[in-house]
Amino acid sequence: MTSTPDSPRTRTAPRELQARGQEKRRAILEAVIAVVGREGSAAVTHRRVAEVAGVSLSATTYYFDSKQQLVGEGLKMLVAEEMARIESRLDGLAGSRLTPAEIAVEIASWYGDDASGDPQGWIVLLELATDAARAGVLADDLAAANAALDAQIDAALRLAGEPGPRDAAALRACMDGLVIEQLFKCDPTFVSTVLQPTLHRLISLMLGEGSG
C-alpha cells in the first residue's frame, strides 16, 4: 500500500530521520570525548573519531566541519550533561536549610564520584583547558562552563548561609586543584578523607561559622 501525504508513515519519517541523525551526532561526540580521554586531543581527527564511533568518515565531516568544531562540541556536550546532573540535585534540595557539613558532602559528590571512579571526564576537561591556554581556542567555552559551575556552587552555599561574591569561584579553584592531585594519587578514600573535610572547613569559614 502506497503511503499518502497524510499517512502516519509519511508524517513520522522525518522525525525518525531526525532522531537517527541526533543519535549519530551524539555517538560522534561521545567518540571525541573517548579519544581525548584515552589518547589526547592531538589524536582527534575525523578518521579516528569515525573509527571509534563506528560511523563512516563522511558522517563525521557532514556534522562537523573541522577538528576544532569536533572538540568544541564534544566539550559543550560534556559540560551540559554535567551541569544538568548537578542542577537536578540542586532542584531536589530546593527550600532546604543545610549545615556547612551537609553542603560539603553535597558539593563533594559532584566532583568526587568521577574523580574516585571513572576520571575520564576530568582528564578530557584538563586536556582541553591545556589546549585552550596553549592555542587560545575553547577559552570562551571553558569560561562559560566555569561561570555556570560557580553559579551552582553559589546556589548550594546559599542553602547554608550568605556566601561572598567570590566564594564559589574560590571553592571551585580549590576543588580543581584537589581533583588534579587525585588523578595522580588515585586514592580510593579521596572523597571522605580529603575532599569533604577540606570543603567543610572552607565553607564554615566562608559562612562565618568557624572551622565547623
Rounded to the nearest 5°, which phi and psi values hold at 84? -65, -40
| Domain span holding position 35 | 1-65
Number of domains forming the structure of the chain? 2
Q: Residue 186 is placed in which grid cell?
A: 588515585
* 11: in domain: yes
Residue 48 pLDDT greater than 60, yes or no: yes
Same domain, 101 and 200: yes
Same domain, 201 and 123: yes
Per-residue pLDDT of 99-117, as tens digits, reads 999 999 999 988 766 655 5
Same domain, 79 and 2: no
Q: What pLDDT, on a 0 to 100 scale, did the predictor assign at position 128?
A: 79
| CA 156 – CA 172 distance, rounded (Å) | 12
Q: Do the beta carbons of residue 183 and residue 172 sit within 8 Å?
A: no
* 108: in domain: yes
Q: What pLDDT, on a 0 to 100 scale, did the predictor assign at position 135?
A: 72
pTM: 0.81
Q: What pLDDT, on a 0 to 100 scale, did the predictor assign at position 88?
A: 94
Same domain, 33 and 123: no
Same domain, 51 and 81: no
Per-residue pLDDT of 62-80, as tens digits, reads 999 998 889 889 888 888 9
> pLDDT above 90 covers what percent of the chain?
53
Q: What pLDDT, on a 0 to 100 scale, did the predictor assign at position 1?
A: 46
Domain boundary among 65, 85, 113: 65
Q: Do the beta carbons of residue 45 and residue 114 sit within 8 Å?
A: no
Crossing angle of helices 167-185/120-135, nearest 10°?
A: 110
Same domain, 131 and 59: no
Residue 6 pLDDT greater than 70, yes or no: no
Q: Do the beta carbons of residue 74 and residue 29 sit within 8 Å?
A: yes
| CA 73 – CA 84 distance, rounded (Å) | 16
Phi-psi region of 114 (alpha: psi -120 to 50; beta: other; left: phi over 0): alpha
Same domain, 178 and 82: yes
Q: Residue 178 is placed in which grid cell?
A: 584537589
Same domain, 85 and 172: yes
Domain boundary among 47, 65, 83: 65
* 83: in domain: yes
| CA 142 – CA 132 distance, rounded (Å) | 8
Same domain, 39 and 109: no
| CA 20 – CA 211 distance, rounded (Å) | 53
Per-residue pLDDT of 117-166, as tens digits, reads 567 778 888 887 787 777 777 788 888 889 999 999 999 999 999 999 99
Average pLDDT over residues 3-17: 57
For residue 14, give the CATH number of its domain.
1.10.357.10
Question: How many angstroms separate the Cα of 76 from the Cα of each of 32, 51, 112, 127?
Answer: 12, 22, 21, 14
* 39: in domain: yes
Spacing of C-alpha 105 from chain mean position: 19
Residue 211 confidence class, pLDDT cut points 50, 70, 90: very low
Residue 210 pLDDT greater than 70, yes or no: no
| CA 140 – CA 119 distance, rounded (Å) | 23
Looking at per-residue confidence, does 34 or 15 come out higher?
34
Same domain, 51 and 153: no
Q: What pLDDT, on a 0 to 100 scale, did the predictor assign at position 115?
A: 58
* 70: in domain: no
pLDDT, the chain, mean:
86
For 137, residues 6+ apart whose C-beta sits below 8 A from its C-beta are 68, 72, 131
Q: What pLDDT, on a 0 to 100 scale, did the predictor assign at position 185?
A: 85
Same domain, 161 and 187: yes
Per-residue pLDDT of 170-185, as tens digits, reads 999 999 999 888 888 8
Domain boundary among 65, 85, 105: 65
